[in-house]
Amino acid sequence: MKYFLIVLCILSGVAINNASAASAAGTAGTIMVFGDSMSSGYGLPPEAGWVSLLKKRLQTQLPAYRVINASISGETTLSGRNRIEQALKTHRPAIVIIELGGNDGLRGSSIESIRDNLGTIIEACQRNQAAVLLAGMHLPPNYGISYTQKFQDVYPQLAQRHQLRLLPFLLDGFGDKREFFLTDGIHPNVQAQEKILENVWGVLRTMLKPQPPIAGRSA
């Protein structure tokens, strides 16, 4: 009887350790996308947005990572600033992809407020030990050369100040091509989502760690 109990305790300890390792592996790499309609899948079929495509790619290549889409259509930098702390507390991400500012720019918000709000969001992420990938946006030329340039400059300025990874333009390579947008001329269509994914992936992949081997499995 004593021998049986000893064996049972040993087996229980192994099971607990394996379960703990599996749990840690499954939650070690949460990527939170914190954006607006460009990332929420506005006007697209379910699972067609670039964030959903990113989930599928990681499931194949780095399944230890999971993706949380905390994006909201219509989000501004101010509303993002107001909810970032709760989002970080809820999801505890290792990486945050910040894709905000476009709605502020389209509304003609002050450059100072956009910079300040984004800076506060970045600082909250870094305080919570989350690495940040900042995705920049451009504005249509009808907003004036001075404003559009100042808006565009916000992103590299913040990236340099906070020492974080930068994707200068989320829609790089097709932002001026009408065939990649919905009828509103603002939101990328289904055909554009793979292009956005490749833009994001080009930076994000440098931030990802190779998946560690599962304990007990031979090479």
CATH of domain 28-207: 3.40.50.1110
Instruction: Please give the average per-residue pLDDT across 95-120, as a whole number.
Output: 98
138 annotated active-site:
no
pLDDT of residue 46: 86
Q: pLDDT higher for 217 or 87?
A: 87
**Tens of pLDDT along 13-64?**
433 343 343 344 444 599 999 999 999 999 999 899 999 999 999 999 999 9
pLDDT of residue 178: 96
- Encode burial over 15-49: b for 16+ CB neighbours within 10 A, e otherwise: eeeeeeeeeebeeebbbbbbbbbbbbbbbbeeeeb
User: Which of 37, 39, 52, 71 is labelled catalytic?
Assistant: 37
188 DSSP assignment: B
User: Which of 109, 162, 172, 187 is labelled catalytic?
Assistant: 187
| pTM for the structure as a whole | 0.85
CA distance readout (Å), 116 to 123, 141, 143: 10, 24, 21
Q: Given a cut of 90, is residue 201 above it in pLDDT?
A: yes
Q: Given a cut of 80, is residue 2 above it in pLDDT?
A: no
37 annotated active-site:
yes
pLDDT of residue 6: 39
The domain segmentation of the chain, as residue ranges, is 28-207
